Structure 1
Amino acid sequence: MAVEAPRMARWFSRRDIDIYPRGWIQVGLLVMVIIANIVANYEGELAPVAPVLLPYLKLTLLGYGLIVGLTTMVSGIVSLLVGARFDRYGRTFFVALGTFVTSIAVFSMVLVHNTLDFIMVRLIMAVILGLVLPATTGLVRDFTPRVGRALGFGLWTFGPVGANFLAAGVAGATLPLFHDAWQSQFVIMGSVCFIISIAVAFLIRDLSPGLRAQIVHNHTEAQTAALRAREVKETVADPRLVYRSGRIWALAVGIVLFLLVYYFTTAFGPLYLSTVFKYPAAEAASIASYFWLANLGSLIVVGLVSDWLQLRKLFSFIGVIGVVVFMFFWVRLIGHPVPPSTMILYTSLQGVLLGIGFGPWMALYSENLEDIHPALQGTGWALWSFVQYVLAGFAGAITFLVVTGAGWAAWLDVCWVGVVVYGVLLFFGRGPWFHRPDRPSGIGRQSVS
C-alpha cells in the first residue's frame, strides 16, 4: 500500500499522462470517454418523448424541426470557434465541464413549460455538445494506435448511439409506469448523467502534448512513444493546414450526407414510427431501441475486421452499397401496415448497414488528419463537427417542410441521394482499397500535405 498510495495521489494530482496508455489504463480511459460522450449526446435524445412532449408544448412538427435544426447548427459553430484550443490546451477540461453542465441542463428540462423555455435549454445543451464531441473524438485517437482505432471509434459511438439506445429503451420501459409523463425521462436520465459527470471529472486524463504529437501505428510502437515524445519540439501546428485540405472537407461533408438518415432517426425516429405506422409512443420508442442496439453491434464487429485488414475505404463503401439498396426498399414500406416484430427486423438491418459505413470512416478520417499533422486532431474533428451540425441542423430544419409539401418518402429520397454522394466523395480520402498497407518507414513520422 505504501507504493500504491503515492501512485494514486499522482494520478489525481496530474491532468496529463506522459506514458502511452496500455492495458487496463487504456481501457479505463476509453470507458471514461465513452460515458462522457453518452452524457453529452443525451442533449439530442428528445425523440422518444417527442410524441407526448410536442402536444404539451403546443409545438407543431414544423416548429419542432426548426428548433432542433437551428440549435444543432449552434453546436457546429461552437466547435469551429473552439476547435484549435482542443489541440493547444488539451481535451479533458472541455469534457469534464461539458458533462457536468449537461447533467444540470437535462434536469432543467423538467422546468420547461413553454416553447421559449424549451429553446433556452436546447441552446445550452447545443453549446455543450459543440465543446464535448470534438474533444472526445480527439481523446479516442490519442488513446488508440492505428491498429485498433476503428474499434476505438466504434466504442466511441456508444456515446451518440448508446444515448439513443438508452433513451429509447428507458422510455419504452418506463413511460407506461409514469402514465406517459415526459418529465419522468429527464429525472431518470438527469440522475444518471450527474453521477457520470462526477466520475468523469475525477478520472479523465489527457496525453501530454508531446505524446499527442505522435503517430502510433501499433502497440509495439506504444512502448517507445514516450521516448519519442521527449524529443518533440513542436506540439502545436497551424490549424490552416486542416482548413485548407480539400480531402478533409470532402470526407467530412461526405459522411454527413451519408448519415442524413441517421440524424433523421435520432431526432424523429419514434415520431416517424408513431405517425406513419401508428404505433403507440412507448412501442415506437422500444422499436427504435433495436436500431441503436444493432448499430452498436455492427460498429464493434466491423471495427475489429477493419483494424485487422486496415482497409477503411472498402468497408465504408460496402456500407454505402448496403444502405442504397435498403433505402430503395425502406421508402416503399410507407403506407403499408407492418407488424412490430417485422419492423424491429427492418430497423435493426438499417442500424447494421449504417454502422458498416460509418465506423471505418472515423478511423480513415483520423488517419488522414494524422498524415497532415498529428497535433491537429482536435482541429480536424472540430471541422467535422461544424460540417456535421450545420448540415444536419439545416436538414432538421427543412425536414418537415419537405414532409409537409411532398410526404415522408420525399425526405427519405433526399437521404438516399446523400448516401450516393458520400460514395463518390469517399474516393478523395487517402488509404488503400484492397491491399493491407505496409508499415510506413520512419516511426512516428509527421507529414504535411
Structure 2
Amino acid sequence: MTLAPKERSLQNYPNEIPRRLYLALVVIITIALYYALYVGGGVAPLLLASLKLPFNEFVYIVAFGNLIGAFASLIAGLADRFGRANLVVYGLLLVGLLIAFVMPNVTTSDEWAVAFFAVSFVEGIILVATPALIRDFSPQMGRATAMGFWTIGPVLGSLTVSAITTLTLPITKTWQSAYQICGAIVLAIFILTFLFLKELSPNLRDQRMVNMRDRVLIELRAKGLDIAQSLRKPWQQMLRTDILISALGVSVLLLFYYTSVTFMLIYFVTVFHYSVHQANVIANWNWGVNAFALVIAGMLSDKMRVRKPFMIFGGLGALIVIYFFLKAAGTNASFETLAFLVAAQSFFVGFAYVSWMASYTETVEARNPALTATGLAIWGWILRVVVTVSFLSFPLVVSSVNPLLTAPYVIAAYKHALAAHIAPAPALLEALAGIKAAAAAAPAEWMNWFWICEAGIVFFLFSVFLMRGRWSPAAAKADEAAHDARVSAELAGLHAAASAR
C-alpha cells in the first residue's frame, strides 16, 4: 500500500512554469540544508578552540555523524511508499530549530556532538528525498540540467558558508554568530516550503518519463497503474551490480570534495599559514566555479543527450589537476596558484558529478521507476559509509593537524614564560618540539591523503562503464526518436480503445 500526503499531492503532471517553480524550491531547500550542515566548517578553528575540542575528536564526531546519516538515508527509501514532501518540510523545520537555538548555545564538545548528530540524521533523509523530487519533476531529456541545479545545493551551501563567514566573521568574531545567522535563514525557507512544496501522486511519479511529450501518456497510464505490485521486494529489485558499483564509484570520486568541505580550511591555515579569512576566500572560488560547472555541464549533457563522455572528461580533468595540487604541498606556491588549482578541480568534478546524477537515476529507472527513492537510498547509504570510513582514516594519514592547530596557544604560553623570566615547563618544551615535528611532517602527510583521493577518481572512471546511457550523441538521438514513435503508437491505441467503448 502506498500512502501520500493528500494535501501535497498533485494528481496531474504540472505545466512548465509550475514544474520549474517546484524544481527551484527543491534546490533552495537543498542549499539551505547543506548550508546548515557545513556551517561549522567555516569557523572550525574558532569552534575547536572555544569548545576545547581536539582535532581528532572533531574528526570522529564528523565521521559518526556521517554514519548516522547513512542509515537515515536507508530510512528515506520509505519515500517510495509514503511520499517525499513531508519528509523534506518537517526535516527542514527540525534542522532550523537545532541550528538557530541549540548549537549556538552549547558549551561542551559533547553537547555540540549530539546536536550535530541530530542534524546529520535529518540531512541523511533529505539527501534522498530532494533528488527524488527533482527526478519526479524532470523527464530524462532534461534530467542533467535539473540535477545540475540540485547538485548546486551542496556546493552553494558550501559557498554560502564561506561567503557569509567572510562577510560577518570580521564583525562578529564568534563562531556562535555563524550558527545564528544560518538558523534564521533555514527557518525562513521552512516557511516558504511549508506553504508551497508539492509532489506528484504515486501513480504519476512511478513511471519513466523520457521527455515532456510523454505527459499525456503517463497521466493515462496512471489511472490503471498497479502501485502495490511495482513496490514489492524493493531492496531485492535495487541491490544490483550496476547500481551498487556506480554508487560506490561516485562516493570515492567525491573524497576530495568532502575533504574540501571539512578539512581544507584547516589545511590552508596549518600548512600555508593563511588566516581563516584568506582560506574562506579560496573556498569562495572553489564553490563558485563548481556551481557554474554543474549548470553548464547539465545543460550540455542534455543538449548532446549523453552522460558518460562528461563523466570521463570530468574525472580525467580532476585527476590531472589534483596531481598538481598535491605537488604544491610544502612549497611556496602562491595564493593565486592554489586558488586556481582548487577552482579547476572543482570545475572538472562538477562535470563528472552532475552527469553521474542524471545517469544514476536513469540506471535506477531502468530497473524500476517506482523505486527511485530506494535506489537513491542505496546511493545515500554508500556515500555516507565511504565518507565515514575516510574521516576515520584521515587522522591516521594526517596526524600533524592537532599539534599545528594548538600551536598559537603553545607559542603564546612559551613567550609569556620568557617575558616573565620563568623557565618553560618540560611539558611546554615537549609541545613546542611536537609542533616543529608536525610542521615538518604535514606536507607529506597531506600529499598521501590526496593520493588516496586520486585513487578514488580512478575507481570512478572504471565504474562509468557499468551505467546506463549512450556514448554517442547520434545513437542517443536515435533512441529518443524510437521512443517518441512508441509513445505515439501507444497513445493512438489508447484513443482507439476509448473510441470503441
Aligned match for 1:411, one of 434, 449, 454: 449
Shift of 1:443: 4.0
What corresponds to 1:283 in structure 2?
278
Q: How does 1:174-193 map to 2 (within 5 A)?
A: 174-178=168-172, 180-193=173-186
**Conserved? CA contact 1:151–1:303, under 8 Å:** yes
Consecutive unaligned residues of structure 1, counting only runs of 5 or more, are: 1-11
Aligned AA (2:140): R
What corresponds to 1:324 in structure 2?
319
Consecutive unaligned residues of structure 2, counting only runs of 5 or more, are: 401-443, 491-501
Three-state SS of the structure 2 residue aligned to 1:100 is helix
In the alignment, the residues of structure 2 paired with residue 288 and residue 242 of structure 1 have an alpha-carbon distance, to the nearest angstrom, of 41
In the alignment, the residues of structure 1 paired with residue 239 and residue 47 of structure 2 have an alpha-carbon distance, to the nearest angstrom, of 43
Aligned match for 2:257, one of 259, 262, 266: 262
Deviating more after overlay: 255-264 vs 103-112: 103-112
Structure with higher Rg: it is 2
What corresponds to 1:9 in structure 2?
none
**Conserved? CA contact 1:65–1:398, under 8 Å:** no
In the alignment, the residues of structure 2 paired with residue 358 and residue 13 of structure 1 have an alpha-carbon distance, to the nearest angstrom, of 34
Aligned match for 2:291, one of 290, 296, 305: 296
Taking every aligned residue pair, what percent have the same amino acid on both sides?
Answer: 29
In the alignment, the residues of structure 2 paired with residue 365 and residue 443 of structure 1 have an alpha-carbon distance, to the nearest angstrom, of 23
In the alignment, the residues of structure 2 paired with residue 291 and residue 355 of structure 1 have an alpha-carbon distance, to the nearest angstrom, of 11
Aligned AA (1:425): S
Aligned AA (2:13): Y
**Conserved? CA contact 1:40–1:128, under 8 Å:** no
Aligned match for 1:424, one of 459, 462, 467: 462
What corresponds to 1:130 in structure 2?
124
Q: Does 1:370 align with 2:328?
A: no
Q: How does 1:20-419 map to 2 (within 5 A)?
A: 20-41=13-34, 42-80=36-74, 82-107=75-100, 108-178=102-172, 180-234=173-227, 236-237=230-231, 238-404=233-399, 407-419=445-457
Q: Does 1:19 align with 2:57?
A: no
Three-state SS of the structure 2 residue aligned to 1:271 is helix
Aligned AA (2:114): M
Note the alpha carbon deviations across 1:112-139, whole angstroms, 9 max, x for none: 1111011111111011011111000100
In the alignment, the residues of structure 1 paired with residue 195 and residue 393 of structure 2 have an alpha-carbon distance, to the nearest angstrom, of 41
Aligned AA (1:23): E
Shift of 1:337: 2.7
Shift of 1:65: 1.0
In the alignment, the residues of structure 2 paired with residue 120 and residue 348 of structure 1 have an alpha-carbon distance, to the nearest angstrom, of 34
Shift of 1:40: 2.2
In the alignment, the residues of structure 1 paired with residue 258 and residue 270 of structure 2 have an alpha-carbon distance, to the nearest angstrom, of 18
In the alignment, the residues of structure 1 paired with residue 179 and residue 297 of structure 2 have an alpha-carbon distance, to the nearest angstrom, of 33
**TM superposition score normalised by structure 2:** 0.83
Deviating more after overlay: 364-373 vs 42-51: 42-51
**Residues 222 and 335 of structure 1, relative CA distance in 2, 3 Å threshold:** same
**Conserved? CA contact 2:235–2:374, under 8 Å:** no
Note the alpha carbon deviations across 1:363-398, whole angstroms, 9 max, x for none: 000001100011011001111000001111111122
Three-state SS of the structure 2 residue aligned to 1:175 is helix
Aligned AA (2:154): P
Which structure ranks higher in relative contact order (CA pairs < 8 Å, sequence separation ≥ 6)? Answer: 1
**Conserved? CA contact 2:217–2:487, under 8 Å:** no
In the alignment, the residues of structure 2 paired with residue 22 and residue 392 of structure 1 have an alpha-carbon distance, to the nearest angstrom, of 39
* Between structures 1 and 2, the one with greater helix share: 2
Three-state SS of the structure 2 residue aligned to 1:407 is helix
**TM superposition score normalised by structure 1:** 0.93
Aligned AA (2:124): G
In the alignment, the residues of structure 1 paired with residue 457 and residue 96 of structure 2 have an alpha-carbon distance, to the nearest angstrom, of 34
**Conserved? CA contact 1:242–1:248, under 8 Å:** no
Shift of 1:13: 7.8
**Conserved? CA contact 1:255–1:358, under 8 Å:** yes
Three-state SS of the structure 1 residue aligned to 2:208 is coil
Aligned AA (1:411): W
RMSD of Structure 2 on Structure 1 (CA): 1.8
**Conserved? CA contact 1:66–1:398, under 8 Å:** no
